[in-house]
Amino acid sequence: GENVEQHPSTLSVQEGDSAVIKCTYSDSASNYFPWYKQELGKGPQLIIDIRSNVGEKKDQRIAVTLNKTAKHFSLHITETQPEDSAVYFCAAKIPGGSQGNLIFGKGTKLSVKP
């Protein structure tokens, strides 16, 4: 079955720097890759997603890139702010599965220091 690996598990950056989180997946047929931000005591919030027919997608300070050949995708956050501090999860959708069949990475705890 699909397996998603996420790195690093923790990431500390200075305010204003960029942060990059990387994920790899095992099933080349996976076709949808969302990213979630989870703040302490809250549920995961969908922040950006990408489908397999697109190589890159941007939304203000956040971007996601997808390399289907290498089976990896990355989240890029530029000009980081303290409010970006949270746990970030990547996920891949199992092809042919229901909408809820997302396989999640283990998460990256991002700390942005003022």
To another protein, the closest distance from the beta carbon of 99 in angstroms equals 5
To another protein, the closest distance from the beta carbon of 3 in angstroms equals 12
Q: How many residues bind another protein (CB under 8 A)?
A: 22
In the region spanning residues 65 to 104, those forming contacts with another protein, defined by CB under 8 A, are 89, 93, 98-102, 104
To another protein, the closest distance from the beta carbon of 114 in angstroms equals 25
Token pair for 85:
């501090």
Q: Which residues contact 48 (CB under 8 A, 6 or more apart)?
A: 34, 35, 57, 59, 62, 63, 64, 75
Q: Which amino acid appears at position 56 of this protein?
A: E
Q: Of 8 and 16, which has the nearer Cβ to another protein?
A: 8
Q: Which residues contact 104 (CB under 8 A, 6 or more apart)?
A: 4, 89, 90, 91
User: What's the residue count for the chain?
Assistant: 114
Site pattern 8..37 for another protein (x: CB under 8 A) = ------------------------x-x-x-
Q: Which amino acid appears at position 37 of this protein?
A: K
Q: Of 71 and 95, which has the nearer Cβ to another protein?
A: 95
CA separation for the pair 86, 80 (Å, rounded): 12
Can you give the binding site for another protein, defined by CB under 8 A?
Answer: 32, 34, 36, 41-46, 49, 51, 89, 93, 98-102, 104-107
